[in-house]
Structure 1
Amino acid sequence: MERPVALVADEGLVDEVLHAAAVAGCEVERVVDVAALRGPWHGAPAVVLDEAAVVACEAEGFPRRAAVFVVGAGPPDPATWRRALALGAEQVLELPADHERLRAVLADAAEGGPAGDGRVLAVLGARGGAGASVLAVAVGQAVLAAGGHALLVDCDPLGGGLDLTLGAERQEGLRWPTLQLTGGRVPVAALRSALPGRTGGRGGLTVLSCGRSGPDPEPDAVVAVVESGRRAGGTVVCDLPRRLTPAACAALDRADLAVLVVPADVKACMAAKPLVDQAEARGVRLRAVIRGPAPGGLTASQVVDAVGVPLLTAMRSEPRLATTLDEGRFPSRARGPLARAAREVLAALHAR
């Protein structure tokens, strides 16, 4: 990927720009004059100019382009601002006061621009052992198999760790207790490099897991991670606990689709009702994934009638699922019932 380019002469401003870039996880290419700027002018994801550079670019007849940002120690004079507009400048940033705004600009550039077209899925289980975590990982695997990027976000600190479900518990990388993120903006590139996961072809699967013990993730931190994945255009899959904690609500409120995994038995149907009511009180309409087997013969239509949510899909039990997970592996059958259900959930997510 091309790097943002900066033509800034004042060393104090240069330090501010480089510091903002370092915080954003972004490298900036410095050039010394407009002749050196002409080459990357069209291809760089962002251009940072000082006032003198704005004047020089206009004098050299540089064409308009998007993502031009002007930095200075104070407000520019009106003539400089008119020249900046002619070049396509989007913002004039006074440093150091506008440091956070500059960091956000460079973070977008590091992520290939503020795509903002990612999708967020929330997965909940009607009761303990319903299989929500397994479905969440299966959706992430489906994204990876299709060549996309998925970010699994574990919001259940009592679930034993989503990395364990994925089979990545021995991989190096940060988990929620060691991430030390409280909010703000985090580049997705930084998450992908710091967290465990796997790659395949052009795609990637990253997991931010809870530890084996520890407190809930902070809601602001969940928001920062979810929005990072969304901005980068990937698929964010949030595994939520049955108890809607503040962190779980932060993810649920941002979901484009929320699914409830309901085993086909009476106890699961009864356990699902309070969770459905809590979600609907927040304006979230769940859709059901009915999981077999049905020991008492309940049909999918009977389950969704009892729970009061529309059916997304029904799936048979995955052969040897418990054994495979206990062996530290995740089911890899592309034609199995779990993989098929994951693809149907993913299709529903991207149809919204």
Structure 2
Amino acid sequence: MPASRLPLVVTADPRLLDDLLRLAAAGGTEVEVATDPVAARPRYSAASIVMIGADQLQPCLRAHLPRRRRVVVVGPHGMPPETWTHAQLLGAEHGAALPAAEPWVVDRFAAPRSDEPPGARVLAVIGGCGGAGASILATALAVTGVRCGRRALLVDADPLGGGLDLALGWEHEPGLRWSALAGADGPVDPPALMRALPSQGDLVLLSFTQDDALVQVPAEAMAAALDAARRGRDLVVVDLPRHLDDAAALALDAADQTLLVVPAEVRAAAAARRVRSMVGHHCDDQAAVVRGPAPGGLRPEDVAQAVGLPLAGALDPEPAMCAALERGEPPALNGKGRLAALCRDLIGAA
């Protein structure tokens, strides 16, 4: 079920919590409450506004919560000066010292939740086992999104994968890669980042160089990329590794839906069930895409049921697409075939 759009209060300070509940009531709204970033994470991205108590500022920084708009750090009068410095590192837009800021906080709680423009739709794609075809689906989703009028960002978050630049045929396309973003010093300007990445038309790619020494994406770099994408894209597709690092967990926390790609095989379904459990700690909305057919006659519905997920769709082998990939032609480029049709369904395009 979709995450709550209610305001989220993150604090373990009982006095501060009482104050914020009182101010929320004065603003005419109920709130969700989390005592720490672990409890906050599932509701963090969807909340209409997030009020973080000064007592939880450092824990939230250490937890690498995804950057988002409408975050306020709230604390008592006389907070130390470094509090605001840390709040900016978290991406907070405002700091509020009580009781002086009480009227302002009430106004923030009372603001209509529709005043925030919708951000980009984020789809995470992960293989239920090795060689499942997750990278092909992720690339096809981004390509199809652009064909359907979306401004898309394709994020390669698997440092040990073959590289989505190869799947697109963009290995020689100029622009920044993960290594440059990981080495950035200071805050990243979202529009500037989108302009600096490899792109063709409305499709932008964030990937690795073919000789990249990175063994994992820094969580701060992923947070900056997701923040930029929310502000400047309509669709974000993230190709994830099966062994989750902090950056992959951040992407899952931000995802509207995770698509688990599973070959129609008994052992693949067993492996995918374990991946599904791991992903479930970060993203509630999961669905299976089954790749077949299976020699033993397993139906896509059987595989999805074995994994414990609803079936989002099924894919048959497309020999012509495999040959095109070897020539550096992206999957679903011409908008024809079952893969392209499935991608249109998954991104909600007619």
TM interval, shorter chain, is 0.5 to 0.7
Q: SS state of the match for residue 320, structure 1?
A: helix
Query: Does 2:339 match 1:342?
Result: no
Matched, 1:333 2:334: yes
User: In the TM superposition, what is the alpha-carbon distance from 1:181 to its structure 2 partner?
Assistant: 5.1
Q: Is residue 145–residue 151 contact of structure 2 (8 Å, CA) maintained in 1?
A: yes
Task: From 143, 146, 150, give the equivalent of 1:144.
Answer: 146
Gaps of 5+ in 1: 1-96, 106-112
194, 197, 205: which is aligned to 2:203?
A: 205
CA displacement 1:92-140 (0-9 Å, x = unmatched): xxxxx9xx79x999xxxxxxx9744211110001111111111111111
CA spacing shift, 1:186–1:146, aligned 2, 3 Å: farther
Residues in 1 aligned to 2:347 and 2:257: alpha-carbon distance in whole angstroms = 10
Structure 1 residue 187: deviation in Å? 3.7
- 1:19 is aligned to none
| SS of the residue 1:253 aligns to | helix
Question: What is the CA-CA distance between 1:242 and the residue it aligns to?
Answer: 0.8
Report the counterpart of residue 259 of structure 1 in structure 2: 259
Measure how far apart 1:218 and its partner are: 0.7
Question: Identity rate of aligned residues, in percent?
Answer: 43
CA RMSD of aligned residues (A): 2.9
One-letter amino acid of the counterpart of residue 155, structure 2: V
Does structure 2 retain, via aligned residues, the 8 Å contact 1:120–1:255?
A: yes
Deviates more, 1:146-155 or 1:320-329: 320-329
Residue from 175, 178, 191 that aligns with 2:177: 175
Aligned residue type for 2:224: A
Q: Is the 8 A contact 1:183 1:220 kept in 2?
A: no
CA offset digits 1:159-207 (Å, max 9, x no partner): 02211111111111111012235697534422232111211xxxx0000
- Tell me, in whole angstroms, the C-alpha distance in 1 between the residues paired with 2:232 and 2:298: 42
- 2:315 matched residue in structure 1: 315
Cα distance, 1:298–1:183 mapped onto 2, change above 3 Å: farther
Q: Which runs of 5+ in 2 are unaligned?
A: 1-84, 94-114
The equivalent of 2:34 in structure 1 is none
Aligned equivalents of 1:136, 1:317: Cα separation in 2: 16
- Aligned partners of 1:126, 1:285: CA distance in 2, in Å? 16
Residue identity opposite 1:241 in structure 2: P
Q: How big is the shift at 1:141? A: 0.8
**What aligned pairs does 1:284-295 form with structure 2 within 5 A after superposition?**
284-295=284-295
Q: 1:317 to 1:141 in 2, by over 3 A?
A: same
What are the Cα deviations for residues 232-283 of structure 1, in whole angstroms up to 9, with x where unaligned?
2521111101111111111001101111011111121111021111112335
Look up the match of 1:186. Answer: 188
Normalised to the residue count of structure 1, the TM-score between the two structures is 0.63
**C-alpha separation in 2, matches of 1:114 and 1:181:** 31
Measure the CA separation in 1 of the matches of 2:345 and 2:311: 12
2: CA distance, partners of 1:338 / 1:232: 26
Cα contact 2:191–2:228 (8 A) shared by 1 = no
1:282-334 deviation line (CA, Å, top 9, x unaligned): 35341011112222211011101111111111122223232211111113231
The correspondence of residues 1-352 of structure 1 with structure 2, limited to 5 A, is 115-180=117-182, 186-199=188-201, 204-212=202-210, 213=212, 214-331=214-331, 332-347=333-348
Is the contact between residue 317 and residue 337 of structure 1 (CA under 8 Å) also seen in structure 2?
A: no
Residue 145 (structure 1) shift: 0.6
Structure 2 counterpart of 1:7: none
Q: Is the 8 A contact 2:260 2:288 kept in 1?
A: yes
Residue 179 to residue 291, structure 1, CA distance change in 2 (3 Å): same
Q: Which protein shows a greater Rg?
A: 1
Describe the shift of the 1:178–1:283 C-alpha distance in structure 2 as closer, same or farther (beyond 3 A).
closer
Q: Secondary structure at the match of 1:288?
A: strand
TM-score (norm 2): 0.63
The runs of at least 4 aligned residues of structure 1 exceeding 4 Å deviation read 181-185
1:187–1:149 CA distance, 2 compared to 1 (3 A): farther
Residue 281 of structure 2 aligns to which amino acid in structure 1? A
Contact 2:181-2:221 within 8 A present in 1 as well: no
- The structure-2 alpha-carbon separation of the partners of 1:187 and 1:344, relative to structure 1 and needing over 3 Å to count, comes to farther
- Partners in 1 of 2:253 and 2:347 — Cα distance? 18
- Which residue identity does 1:251 align to in structure 2? A
Equivalent pair of 2:252/2:283 in contact (CA under 8 Å): no
